[in-house]
Chains A and B, each alone.
Chain A
Amino acid sequence: MRVAPRVGVLTFPGSLDDRDALRAVRLAGAEAVPLWHGEKWLSDVVAVVLPGGFSYGDYLRAGAIARFSPAMASVIDGARNGMPVLGICNGFQVLCEAHLLPGALIRNDHRKFVCRDQQLRIENNRTDWTSGYEENQQIVVPLKNGEGGYVADRATLDELEAEGRVVARYVGDNPNGSYRDIAGITNAEGNVVGLMPHPEHAVEDLTGPSTDGLAFFTSVLQKLVGTPA
């Protein structure tokens, strides 16, 4: 019998969707491991999810303080060495603050928090977290953010597009003013992915608008254990 890979979910003070990320990891078939921001040792996990929420109250800027936590130092090291890391919402903000991903996330252009079921197009299915999708597959997952507007300078945006590093794009109304409707991006290696919407809230029929989000978590599992024979 194969042992399920250990996938960590890092909790900061003010993290909110950490339980949901743990659940999604579990439902995908991995062993879900809670990680604490103050611990440098990552408990032998082989992949990490940075969950949504308001780490450290989003004081200063969303994600700005979280990136300096002891656990994040280890996550940054791991990510640079190929460990799969998925940042969702506030986690995406942390990845940008940590310079694992380019650009930044700013206050929604309409200045209000928005929670809705959002249609996305998965444009890059070659990352560690999206290999389970078809290219250009359209999915619906919840979106909920107050600072979800993705911004970067034109050169960075052009580079992201040219290298196919836009992982997901909003379909229909742009919910937060993100440049070029970008909902998620990856690093060049495809192991670090940041996504503003919440795939961990679309893993059960009972509680989500769909189960379209589950493939983010099964994708990384497939990468870690290989395709079952």
Chain B
Amino acid sequence: MATVAEPNKNLKTGLKYLLLVLVALVFLFPMVFMVVSSLKPDLQLLRDTSSIAAFLPVGDISLDNYFAAFRRAPIGLFVFNSVFVTGLTVIGSLFLCSLAGFAFAFLEFRGKNLVLSIVIATLIVPFETIAVPMLMVVNTLPFVGPNGLQWGWLNTYHVQIVPFLADALTIFLFVQYFRDLPKELIEAARLDGATWFQVYAMVIMPIAGPVIATAAILKFLAMYNQYLWPLMVTQSEQFRPVMVGLQYFFQLNTAWGEVMAYLSLITLPVLAFYLFLQRAFIASIASTGIKG
């Protein structure tokens, strides 16, 4: 019997892997196309799009597009701005939203469910509808910085960070995760005399790795891909992020090779961040059923 079952099992495994490889290729092809195209001159790039050559590093291959892209735009500055703004926002957001999630999950206070409902309800408000009012608000806010008190937040880093430090999705993720944790952990800590902040910092957060990874990746992607808001609030090149920088490459005659080179470069921080957190991210998806 075992000899009959063995080939069937091998066939099934083979088919499974074949399917997985095909699915992987579907997801990999755009990346391969982007990187390969970044090495080709424009005319060849456009001609190759009608054949399999689009995915192959063939023909006139060079790094010229990368050199030209660096001449066209201050790519290093844009990447720094995006990573700086995104990094600070992710860190701040994880801290504030996990605190809020902790409060909604474990503390008892009047109107808790109503407040949580209102917070979650804000998920359905598209950002575009509040962008202009937000612009008018931040344009009149005070800020104390190295140059003393200043009015108006335009053309700064904090105008790209502060409005996004707390958001409903991240709070919701933490609430859901915290609610599934065993209550005994908290009760034991409280019986041992721990304050609520100690419970948060020393009991709950150390075992919240998966949700932290999930929230961090989702927030990172949302912030790194920001376009409309930075476009509205950063009139100075000094503060522009990568997505606004991408527009530098669309001229009357678009240099597609340079576009692909730029995209390849700005994708690197995202890939690095995802690879760094991917194990925890997958664990989180498996445990909470949340699909990023």
Are A and B genuine complex partners? no
Binding site for B on A (CB under 8 A): none
Binding site for A on B (CB under 8 A): none
